[in-house]
């Protein structure tokens, strides 16, 4: 039997009578990169907001490792290991890249957020932060002010910060949005690299990104699941072609 990390059962979200997410049942398998795709307005962002508890579902269930987390609070979800990659706005622009990763590490290493740390603790934090930067090929930018990082590298920083929280399930929200070809290529390779031993659920528009790295794809249309399968399966589905590929 498949090892399912995250499952939604008939997840539904209505906004004043408008159904943005309609009976969505998903299963994300452990170790997979699972992509959520669909045309604009399909309900992808609303789904993510339900999973991270920014929104409360109208009905349906969310299970994480078989436990019902439908009514859990955002902080509880994060503590259990579901981490959504930080938006750029959550990164401090006038701190260095290393400082930003170090701040993100305070909680997982059991440190209280304090400006005064013992030297030993500070060294441990620095070492861990540098290791994370190396994982996302940012070690040469450690002392760069975050505000001065090139756009594509900022996404890598977000990923490093997210990794620092030791996610069991990483949620990536359009990780290549607004990027040029070279950055798309770099971030795609990075996602593949950090996916080893992890589970990733990502919303992504760029089909070349999805085709290269996704194990499973769920296609949403008007709030409902239109199709699910491998890239080959969904990309040869005529309904999907009509709804999404051709747009
Ligand atoms: P996607 O991310 O696939 O583009 P969204 O989840 O953002 O789609 O939106 C799905 C639908 O729900 C859209 O029609 C959108 O206008 C609607 N919607 C999203 N959030 C709200 C809200 N807070 N209030 C009312 N309608 C919303």
Does residue 89 fall inside a structural domain?
Answer: no
Do 52 and 113 sit in the same domain of this protein?
A: no
The pLDDT value recorded for residue 221 is 94
Do 156 and 218 sit in the same domain of this protein?
A: no
Q: What is the CATH number of the domain that holds 242?
A: 3.40.50.300
Do 155 and 103 sit in the same domain of this protein?
A: yes
Do 174 and 159 sit in the same domain of this protein?
A: no
Index of the ligand 1 atom closest to the CA of residue 220: 3
**If DSSP states are collapsed to H, E and C, what string results for the chain?**
CCCEEEEEEEEEEEECCEEEEEEEEEEEECCCEEEEECCCCCCHHHHHHHHCCCCCCCEEEEEECCEECCCCCHHHHHHHCEEECCCHHHCCCCCEHHHHHHHHHCCCCCCCCCCCCCHHHHHHHHHHHHHHHHHCCCHHHCCCEHHHCCHHHHHHHHHHHHHHCCCCEEEEECCCCCCCHHHHHHHHHHHHHHCCCCEEEEECCCHHHHHHHCCEEEEEECCEEEEEECHHHHHCCHHHHHHHHCC
The pLDDT value recorded for residue 121 is 81
CA of 49 to the centre of ligand 1 (A): 10
Do 162 and 173 sit in the same domain of this protein?
A: no
HSE on the CB side for 179, CA within 13 Å? 23
60 pocket-lining for ligand 1 (C-beta < 6 Å)? no
CA of 1 to the centre of ligand 1 (A): 34
38 pocket-lining for ligand 1 (C-beta < 6 Å)? yes
Lowest mean pLDDT, pick from 76-90, 117-131, 138-152: 76-90
The pLDDT value recorded for residue 113 is 53
Do 147 and 189 sit in the same domain of this protein?
A: no
Domains of the chain: total: 2
Tokens of 20: 């943005």
CA of 211 to the centre of ligand 1 (A): 25
* pLDDT score of 94 more than 70: yes
Label residue 112 by pLDDT band (50, 70, 90).
low
Does residue 233 fall inside a structural domain?
Answer: yes
Does residue 91 fall inside a structural domain?
Answer: no
Contact 29, 215 (CB under 8 A): yes
Index of the ligand 1 atom closest to the CA of residue 203: 2
Do 171 and 245 sit in the same domain of this protein?
A: yes
Does residue 88 fall inside a structural domain?
Answer: no
DSSP bridge pairs for 12 = 59
Mean pLDDT calculated for residue range 204-217:
91
Do 107 and 153 sit in the same domain of this protein?
A: yes
Does residue 57 fall inside a structural domain?
Answer: yes
Q: How many CB atoms lie within 10 A of CB 236?
A: 12
Index of the ligand 1 atom closest to the CA of residue 49: 6
Contact 47, 219 (CB under 8 A): no
Do 150 and 104 sit in the same domain of this protein?
A: yes
* pLDDT score of 220 more than 70: yes
What is the ipTM for the molecules in this complex?
A: 0.98
CA of 46 to the centre of ligand 1 (A): 6
Does residue 144 fall inside a structural domain?
Answer: yes
The pLDDT value recorded for residue 109 is 46
51 pocket-lining for ligand 1 (C-beta < 6 Å)? no
Do 173 and 59 sit in the same domain of this protein?
A: yes
Tokens of 27: 């299963």
Label residue 85 by pLDDT band (50, 70, 90).
confident
Range of the domain at 41: 1-81+167-247
Task: Tell me the pTM.
Answer: 0.91
64-75 residue pLDDT tens: 999 999 999 988
Tell me the C-alpha to C-alpha distance, in Å, between residue 174 and each of 87, 184, 243: 10, 11, 19
Do 55 and 174 sit in the same domain of this protein?
A: yes
Please give the backbone phi and psi of residue 129, each rounded to the nearest 5 degrees, phi first.
-65, -40
The pLDDT value recorded for residue 132 is 95
The pLDDT value recorded for residue 70 is 96
Contact 7, 28 (CB under 8 A): yes
By alpha-carbon position, which residue is closest to atom 20 of ligand 1?
46
Do 68 and 171 sit in the same domain of this protein?
A: yes
Does residue 12 fall inside a structural domain?
Answer: yes
Label residue 108 by pLDDT band (50, 70, 90).
low
The pLDDT value recorded for residue 103 is 85
Listed residues 145, 166, 187: the one ending a domain: 166
Does residue 157 fall inside a structural domain?
Answer: yes
Using CA atoms, how far apart are residues 231 and 38, in angstroms rounded to an integer? 13
Mean pLDDT of the chain: 90
CA of 212 to the centre of ligand 1 (A): 28
């Amino acid at each position: 039997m498949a090892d399912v990390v995250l499952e939604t059962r008939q997840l539904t979200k209505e906004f004043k009578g408008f159904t943005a997410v309609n009976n969505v049942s998903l299963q994300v398998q452990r170790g997979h990169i699972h992509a959520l795709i669909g045309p604009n307005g399909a309900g992808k962002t609303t789904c993510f907001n339900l999973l991270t508890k920014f929104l409360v579902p109208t009905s349906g269930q969310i299970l994480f490792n078989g436990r019902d987390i439908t009514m859990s609070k955002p902080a509880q979800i994060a503590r259990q290991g579901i981490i959504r990659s930080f938006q750029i706005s959550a990164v401090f622009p006038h701190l260095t890249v290393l400082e930003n990763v170090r701040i993100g590490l305070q909680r997982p290493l059991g440190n209280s957020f304090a400006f005064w740390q013992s030297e030993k603790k500070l060294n441990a934090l620095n070492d861990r932060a540098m290791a994370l930067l190396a994982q996302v090929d940012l070690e040469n930018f450690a002392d760069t002010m975050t505000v001065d990082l090139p756009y594509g590298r900022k996404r890598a920083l977000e990923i490093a910060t997210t990794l620092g929280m030791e996610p069991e399930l990483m949620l990536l929200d359009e990780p290549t949005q607004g990027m040029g070809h070279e950055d798309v290529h770099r971030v795609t390779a990075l996602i593949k690299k950090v996916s080893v031993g992890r589970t990733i659920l990502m919303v992504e528009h760029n089909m070349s990104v999805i085709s290269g790295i996704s194990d499973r794809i769920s296609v949403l249309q008007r709030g409902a699941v239109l199709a699910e399968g491998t890239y080959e399966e969904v990309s040869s589905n005529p309904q999907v072609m009509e709804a999404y590929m051709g747009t």
